[in-house]
Amino acid sequence: MFRRVVCSSCGQTHRTDVLALSFRLPDPVLHVWLQRRRCRITSETVILDQTRYFIRGLLPLPVKPGDRTYFIGVWAELPPEVFQRIMEVWNDDAQASAPGMPGELANALPFHENTLGLRLRLQLTGPNTRPDFALVPVEHTLFAEQALGIDAHRAHEYSSWRHHKPADTLEPPVSTPASTGTAAPRPAFALSGSESRDSRRRLKHRSAAEPDASGASTT
């Protein structure tokens, strides 16, 4: 059964099961993504200048009380060797058994300071689902939320962040497509830049909708 919470910004009541926050691109790519020679972009991976490697995943935040989890769609920057390893097992049904891999958060999240570059562990979850990101223990408010959980109202604040930002805040274009639970079927790129087989990686029902440009979106 879904819950309803009252938004502290607009005073309206909202369902907490129909909204989610997702970042369309890694922050370092936002201002250069139209420069096609610099960026190789798929729905799941980005290679910038053939030197920086990013993968899309989910940052889980437990919602308490209860056993629900709120997932923020974010990007992680990976060392080249880690990106290569992921590409090697991209379509492997047993990829979830691979050990966790290091990376860094590649998005600045709302309500927190200095989230860009926070260290994390990436855990593959299967060829049809996006990986999970677990922050490495650190004295930071975002790590505290992942470790201790958030309440339903906080989850709604994340979901409604795009609509309540100050008017003078610069941001890239945003669209709000209907949530299908399925990522666009596009190929991943190997470290060399050659295309692998179409991975057809899908979001789990828990995650945000598939966006198609830069910036953050809510659905």
| Per-residue pLDDT tens over the stretch 123-144 | 999 999 999 999 999 999 999 9
Cα 217 vs. chain centroid, distance in angstroms? 11
Residue 196 pLDDT: 31
Structure tokens at 204: 């789990």
Domain that holds residue 176: 4-218
pLDDT score at 17: 52
Query: In this predicted structure, what is the pLDDT of residue 212?
Result: 38
Distance from the Cα of residue 26 to its chain's centroid: 9
| pLDDT tens by residue, 142-177 | 999 999 999 988 888 898 886 444 443 333 333 222
What pLDDT is recorded for position 148? 95
* pLDDT for residue 21: 87
Strand partners, 76: 55, 105
- Among the listed residues 82, 64, 39, the one whose alpha carbon sits nearest the alpha carbon of residue 145: 64
Higher-pLDDT residue of 212 and 128 is 128
Q: Tokens representing 89?
A: 């097992």
**Residue 199: is its pLDDT beyond 90?**
no
| Structural domain count, the chain | 1
Which one-letter amino acid corresponds to residue 95? Answer: Q
φ and ψ at 19, to 5 degrees?
-120, 150
pLDDT at 152: 85
Which of 152 and 8 is assigned the larger pLDDT? 152
Identify the band that residue 44 occupies on the pLDDT scale cut at 50, 70 and 90: very high
Query: Would the pLDDT of 211 be above 70?
Result: no
What pTM did the predictor assign? Answer: 0.73
What is the pLDDT, as a whole number, of residue 142?
Answer: 97
What would the pLDDT profile of 55-112 be if each residue is shown by its tens digit? 999 999 999 888 889 999 999 999 999 999 999 999 999 999 999 999 999 999 999 9
- Percent with pLDDT over 90 in the chain: 48
Q: What is the distance of C-alpha 79 from the center of its chain?
A: 18
Q: What is the pLDDT of residue 159?
A: 86
